[in-house]
Amino acid sequence: MADSPTDPNMRRWRLMRRGAFALGLVSGMSRAVSGQGTGPIGSPVGSPLSSATPSSQQLTAVTVAPGDSALRAQRLAAGTQVFALTLFRDGDEIPVGRLRDVLVHDSSAAAPVLRRTLTTERGTLQLTDSTDSAEPGLAPLRRRSQQQNRRVLLEFVGRRVRGSLAPQDVPGVPIDTTLPVAAFDAGNWDLVLRALPLAVGYAAQFAAYDVDAGVRRYQVQVTGQTTLHGEAAWVVKLVIGRGRESYVWIGKETARLLQLETMLNESTMLRQVLLPATTERAR
């Protein structure tokens, strides 16, 4: 039987969907999550930070654009990673689904391309998002999204974005815009973050295009380092706009996304955690 609009499971799915794509596909983030590895809701994770960075007022952020030579896209290992998605709300821990992330380095064309497929799953419901980015600088090329009740098709040529946005099975509304600045695909914000030369005291900013919100400025700051899931990790604060913060744990040697914490509202946090032994080599 299909979920009714009042079904609590459907409400959880909508919250999870909003969080899973909060940084690029559907909606935004709100309020900060603790950078010490302990969210305001839920249980502690990771170890205390072993070092601290200067305050944000003392840091000078570098600006990164698509094609920047500082990006190390080759560090993004091809393969499949699976993440557990869990809501923490009013003291309750609620498993709500999984996120499957598949990366493929495709060198068969004239220019190498990084192909990515993200699939968010809860029961029989799925959201699928496929993107192509030019290597090595992660300039966006294409996006194909099949969401619960709409589809998104985008083509990027420099600052120009063309495509369509429509409900399922309905002709799309055309999109044809020229961005004010060169921007990454917002749905791949984490690939940009993972490809940066993270280090103690590192800070950067980059622009990313979201079909719903337009161009947004992402601010990155390494706040410390810790051990998470047995792996040395950078702890990174990610800010989009005023008061919209999230915390990300990135493997120091592997450049894997190990964990992400995002506040959906004042009492609800979404935690995305890499499941052990889920990285599979892509063919």
pLDDT by residue (tens digit) across 100-120?
999 999 999 889 999 999 999
Q: What is the pLDDT of residue 174?
A: 93
Neighbours of 241 (CB within 10 A): 14
d(CA 248, CA 258): 8
Q: What is the pLDDT of residue 58?
A: 55
pTM of the predicted model as reported, rounded to 2 decimal places: 0.80
d(CA 16, CA 27): 11
Q: What is the mean pLDDT of residues 169-190?
A: 92
The encoded tokens of residue 282 equal 């892509």
For the chain, how are helix, strand and coil distributed in percent, rounded to 5?
10, 50, 40
Alpha carbon separation from 194 to 61, 76, 77, 99, 180 (Å, rounded): 16, 7, 11, 18, 25
- Who's near 20: CB < 8 A, 6+ residues apart? 85, 97, 99, 120, 127, 270, 272
Give 210's DSSP letter: E
Whole-number percent of the chain with pLDDT over 70: 76
Q: What is the mean pLDDT of residues 151-157?
A: 95
Whole-number percent of the chain with pLDDT over 90: 59
Residue 33 has pLDDT above 90, yes or no: no
Q: What is the pLDDT of residue 148?
A: 72
Q: What is the mean pLDDT of residues 115-144?
A: 93
